Amino acid sequence: MYDSRAQRIFHIVRSIPRGKVATYTYVARKAGVPKAARYVGNVLGNNRSSRVPCHRVVRKDGHVGGFRDGTREKVRRLRREGVVIRGNCVGAEHILQ
């Protein structure tokens, strides 16, 4: 079972719309743990539920970053949702602020 911080993170990530992404820092701030971007990455990396679209969370520099199923799969899923990716970086117009 996940703690309340992890549950908040999952809730926020589930609210990211198709065609958009959020940074680990953005998710941490929205979850009330603003200095815990790495914690967000760890929580998402350990997630096994397909109901949480972890592929929609990227690094603050726009790079797609890691993914449990591999970077290629993350890029494939994002592109399928309409996210523009150049050189493994997400177009700024797709990043939630």
pLDDT tens per residue across span 16-45: 999 999 999 999 999 999 999 999 999 999
Which CATH number goes with the domain that contains 45? 1.10.10.10
**By residue range, what is the domain housing residue 9?**
4-94
Domain count across the chain? 1
Residues 6+ apart with CB under 8 A from 39: 5, 28, 33
Q: Which residues are catalytic?
A: 54
Of the candidates 44, 78, 14, 19, the residue with the CA atom closest to the CA atom of residue 89:
78
Task: Indicate the pTM of the whole model.
Answer: 0.95
- Per-residue pLDDT of 52-95, as tens digits, reads 999 999 999 999 999 999 999 999 999 999 999 999 999 999 99
